[in-house]
Amino acid sequence: VQLQASGGGLVEAGGSLTLSCAASGLTFSSYVMGWFRRAPGKEREFVAHINWSGDSTLYSGSVKGRFTISRDNANNTAYLQMNSLKPEDTAVYYCAASRIRATASRSIDYWGRGTLVTVSS
């Protein structure tokens, strides 16, 4: 199983980025897809997830209203649209796949390698 995250980079505060997660080696539509992040000096935290069919989502309080998670089951890809970025959003973002609607790292079945997002003030 491979989860390849991409789309990270450097952006100014208030800007936008879209992360992509291309999955292979698994039955994509059977997994909840999520994003976690690890900021410098902090533990990895849940950001968002989307259910198997894409009609139900959950966001952390810190990103709700600014980030949008989506998925394309035909192309085995999940996305995270990030708007109104803040310096505190700076982190390595990890794509995650789980059989259940997980918000805890211990419940994740597969992890991507991560992509760095840096938001300058």
Contacts of residue 36, Cβ cutoff 8 Å, sequence gap at least 6: 44, 45, 46, 47, 93, 94, 96, 105, 108
Q: pLDDT tens digit string along 50-107? A: 999 999 999 999 999 999 999 999 999 999 999 999 999 999 999 999 999 999 999 9
Q: In this predicted model, what pLDDT tens digit does every residue of 10-27 receive, in sequence order?
A: 999 999 999 999 999 999
Rounded Cα distance between 33 and 47, Å, is 11
Question: What percent of the chain lies above the pLDDT cut of 70?
Answer: 100
